[in-house]
Amino acid sequence: MISFEDADTEETMTCLQITVYHPGQLQSGIFQSIRFYNREKLPSSEVVKFGRKSNICHYTFQDKQVSRVQFSLQLFKKFDSSVLSFEIKNMSKKTSLLVDNKELYYLNKIDLPYKCMVRFGEYQFLIEKEDGQSLEFFETQFILSPRSLLQENNWPLQKPIPENGIYSFCSTQNTSPTEMDENEL
């Protein structure tokens, strides 16, 4: 028996909390293969794939509209940093992946922010990262949202990109000054 003093120090693990939503999630069983609310421990060397093909993807969606491999997450450590980071890569040839409002096409990848909205088709994923110390393992935890994550989190909707590639930041809201009493501050 190992004494308390000789036991290994328990390290916390980086965790990706992934809240998911799809408008047909209750009727179609799209997420039936995902275990919600449990933390799952994965080796840091694993590339975690999401898609339709169960023999390739760690997390599968029961939906023919989803690519065999839709996207992947891979853990890495930035140079001169002790914090683990993730990169997200679009693996679908047919569907672009939106990370916040950055559009990724096939094989495009970017560093995953600490908190971001990932979308394709009608799927919405709110991904939040909690830092940990372990370099050997990380965890995932899935939460099923009963409501659209875009509405629940007041996330800006994706604006179409015009042909010239420049967004127009015109607002339809009244931007004129409003008179306010100093006690209302």
**Domains of the chain by start residue, with CATH:** 13-150 (2.60.200.20)
Say what the pTM is: 0.76
Structural contact between residues 97 and 104, judged by C-beta atoms closer than 8 angstroms: yes
pLDDT at 176: 39
- Reported as a single tens digit per residue, the pLDDT across 77-123 is 888 888 889 999 999 999 999 999 899 999 999 999 999 999 999 99
Q: Tell me the mean pLDDT in the region 5-32.
A: 85
Percent of the chain with pLDDT over 70: 77
pLDDT at 83: 85
Average pLDDT, the chain: 82
For residue 185, name the pLDDT band (cuts at 50, 70, 90): very low
Q: What is the DSSP string of 82-121?
A: -SEEEEEEE--SSS-EEETTEEE-TT-EEEPPSEEEEEET
